[in-house]
Structure 1
Amino acid sequence: MSNFLAIVWDINPVLFDIGFIKIHYYSLMWILAFVMGWYVMKHIFETDKVDIKILDPLFLYAFLGVVIGARLGELFYNIDSYWGQPIGQVLIEVFLPVQKNPEASTMFGLLQGYEFSGFRGLASHGAACGFLITAYLFNRKYLKKNLLWLLDRVALTVPLGGAAIRVGNFINGEIVGTPTNLPWAVEFKNQSAEYGEIVGRHPSQLYEAIGYVIIFFIIWHFYKRTNKKFQLGFIFGLFFVLLWSVRFFVEFFKESQNKSSGEFVAKTIDIGLNNGQILSIPFILLGLIIMITSKNRIYKD
């Protein structure tokens, strides 16, 4: 599908390479996501008169939950890639920011045959599950409020971070869109070979990023301009409905994320939807239930 109007994207996803360490733009987008989240949450804690000393442990819990959950969630997309590999190699590649490369330099005498790459391949559905678990643990130890109070506020930090991460995916030329002749089509010169010919494609990563920014302003409005923050779970439920709905619909413009081996969940269930759409449905339904029932949970400080 030829499109002479297509934008050519040919940036190197590696910001700099010093042998055993490679710093990717994608990794920097993750750092930006947590930095923005920290400042948004600091403002929220100050507004709600919560001791900001617990902000640092909150983000430690959030980081561990998101990264571990996201890496485990990635198994749903690429389980065929790990199948048959030694369990030790699977654990290293899932939980450490390295990738197998027999030609790589030794990392300070450790992990011969691996190179530092940063965490790549992070599933948002797994990240959501991982964070819910660590949010519960954090709340029980530090905050000691209704868990939904915390989730309502953390929800405000996620959309901007999600947008930053999708920009990172765009820079990498990954999670590319389906071919199109639209004027804003993008030719990703560094796209994976499994997507075939380099042609103009939907910049689906940017569609999703824009959707997340819009979600941020919507739920920020409810937090700042209405009394909905006193209905425990309303903002969090609305966030889940909007976020996963955006994810569901943008999937129509995305290529399969694992064309070589197929999508494990989608192939197993086989209802005409892909992994991202199938895994989004339970989150949308959960968000609706939490949001609708929030009127029965009024918070009084």
Structure 2
Amino acid sequence: MHSIHIVWDPIKYLDLGFFKLHFYSVMWIVAFVLGFYIMKRIYRNENQSDESLDSLFIYSVIGIMLGARLGHVIFYQSELITEDFFSIFLPFKFKGGIEFTGFQGLASHGAAIAMIISMYLYNKKILKKTVLWILDRVVIPVALGAVFVRIGNFINSEIIGKYTNSDFGIVFKQLGETEPRHPAQLYEAFCYVFVFLILFYFYWKTKKAEQQGFLFGLFLVLLWTIRFFVEYVKVSQGGIEEYFGNALSTGQLLSIPFILIGLYFMFMYKPKTQSS
């Protein structure tokens, strides 16, 4: 029988001499640039100004990156707070000598919480609509961005899957391995494409965007249901799961509240006053 595993041994960056351009960073840039263009179309459709779009971009980038980093530290690597505090916010490791690491260790749950907070602040300062109005729309590019972030994880050979114990899978050669694992990052990326397409369809082809909170809720339910099930084939990254008897992974435990919040906004939430 032919083996159907793939040996994965990519280059992770382009060495430009004065700077190493990491493909993981490029994936984040692609996510934000595509997100900007999608939101531009949505804002034109909603007769919003270009100035408010520029502000949205700044709030999104700072909020999501900061939240993703803090989320990783709080949920998965809390020892950094006491052992190497400045490495939380800077792309350097200081413990045992200064070393440029790039921004590593970013958690999607932290990014999601920060996105909600930053959209609340953005709406309060700039947009003056409702926070759900902007969340219902910004989740569309965020879903597409999640695809590229997971591809970046795959390039970095991180957030890996468990061994398949068969001929199927990916051999992560840079981890010094010879046995195939589940390409969990690609499973997620593939599924997130459909999350994006579903949200895109509901916004442009239905009246659901007028039901405050529906698209935001749909995003939470779809994205974190996928995350919950893909976690079954992922290697545990540790974190808060030990406090819950290791019955579910940290990623699964953190996904459940998001799914419940999403269901609430899809089916139970009623705005106090209908926004114009």
Q: TM-score range by the shorter chain?
A: over 0.9
Contact 1:172 1:190 in 2 (8 A): no
User: For residue 87 of structure 2, what is the amino acid of its counterpart?
Assistant: E
Contact 1:244 1:280 in 2 (8 A): yes
The normalised TM-score by structure 1 is 0.85
Q: Give the whole-Å Cα distance in 1 for the aligned partners of 2:159 and 2:246.
A: 22
Match of 1:44 in 2: 42
* Higher RCO (C-alpha under 8 Å, 6+ residues apart): 1
Aligned with 2:7: secondary structure?
A: strand
Match of 1:293 in 2: 268
**Cα drift, residue 293 of structure 1:** 2.6
Aligned with 1:78: secondary structure?
A: coil
Aligned with 2:106: secondary structure?
A: coil
**Cα drift, residue 84 of structure 1:** 4.8
Change in 2 beyond 3 A, CA 1:295/1:96: same
Size of the aligned set, in residue pairs, is: 274
Alignment of 1:276 with 2:260, yes or no, is: no
Contact 1:230 1:298 in 2 (8 A): no
**Cα drift, residue 292 of structure 1:** 1.0
1:174-193 matches, cutoff 5 A: 174-181=158-165, 184-191=168-175
**Any idea what the Cα deviations from partners look like across 1:170-194, whole Å, max 9, x if unmatched?**
0011111111155651001113x7x
User: For residue 174 of structure 1, what is the amino acid of its counterpart?
Assistant: E
Alignment of 1:254 with 2:234, yes or no, is: yes
Question: How high is the sequence identity, in percent, across the aligned residues?
Answer: 47
The normalised TM-score by structure 2 is 0.93
Q: Give the whole-Å Cα distance in 1 for the aligned partners of 2:192 and 2:78.
A: 28
Alignment of 1:95 with 2:89, yes or no, is: yes
Match of 1:79 in 2: 78
Change in 2 beyond 3 A, CA 1:14/1:296: same
Q: Give the whole-Å Cα distance in 1 for the aligned partners of 2:198 and 2:264.
A: 19
Match of 2:131 in 1: 147
The Cα RMSD (Å) is: 2.0
Change in 2 beyond 3 A, CA 1:176/1:17: farther
Aligned with 2:76: secondary structure?
A: helix
**Cα drift, residue 212 of structure 1:** 0.6
Q: Give the whole-Å Cα distance in 1 for the aligned partners of 2:273 and 2:214.
A: 10
Aligned with 2:174: secondary structure?
A: coil
Question: Which structure 2 segments of 5+ residues have no match?
Answer: none
